Amino acid sequence: MKVSVQLDFLPVTADLAPAVHSLYLSCPTYIALIGGETPSLNDIRRELETLRQDTRRQAVLIRQGERVVGFLDYKVAHPDLHSATISLLLIEESLQGRGLGKAAVEQLEVLLKERMERLYAVVYGHNEQAKRFWERLGFEHLRDSGPNLSWYLKRLR
Ligand code: ACO
């Protein structure tokens, strides 16, 4: 059932690594799809540390009320000054298909609209569900770069 959704974006700091890790553990289908292993808590800590050193990179936990429902990793002023790029939107597996992913992207669009003209989404691997999701949200397939990355684009204004 679709729900009308109000979400909060909570910037991820190192102390939130366990929450990000739990979210990955709750998404086994996605992990299998990208052919990887679930990252360990230490992997997540290292990744968050790397992320902190790049001021353009933004990682947020997506919360509905007190509950963490997803994770969003994007970069502003990338690949050019007037664009932002989403590298990962992850919604907890048991909550997928209820409008949360769409609501998160719509909220991000509102946040970015004044500063950015374009929003890209980069889909890793053979993730056909994700490609359909981005197309459903009005993103156009732009190009494939290499065998594993598909770029999608939406103009924000
Ligand atoms: N096939 C076709 N349409 C789909 C699919 C699908 N597999 N998934 C969602 N949609 C459509 C829905 O029907 C809906 O359309 P509607 O508004 O007309 O009803 C719309 O997309 C929004 O669907 P949501 O319910 O908001 O999608 P959800 O909350 O499940 O979020 C997401 C989508 C982010 C892909 C989620 O399923 C997920 O986390 N999947 C695993 C991780 C993943 O693949 N993330 C994307 C990687 S690529 C990247 O982040 C740049």
Closest CA to 23 of 74, 63, 82: 63
| Averaged pLDDT in 10-residue chunks for the chain of 157 residues | 79 94 96 91 94 94 97 97 98 98 98 97 95 98 91 97
The residue whose C-alpha atom lies closest to atom 5 belonging to ligand 1 is 133
- Which of 31, 88, 133, 140, when mutated, tests ligand 1's pocket best, judged by the most ligand atoms within 8 Å of its CB? 133
The pTM for the full model equals 0.96
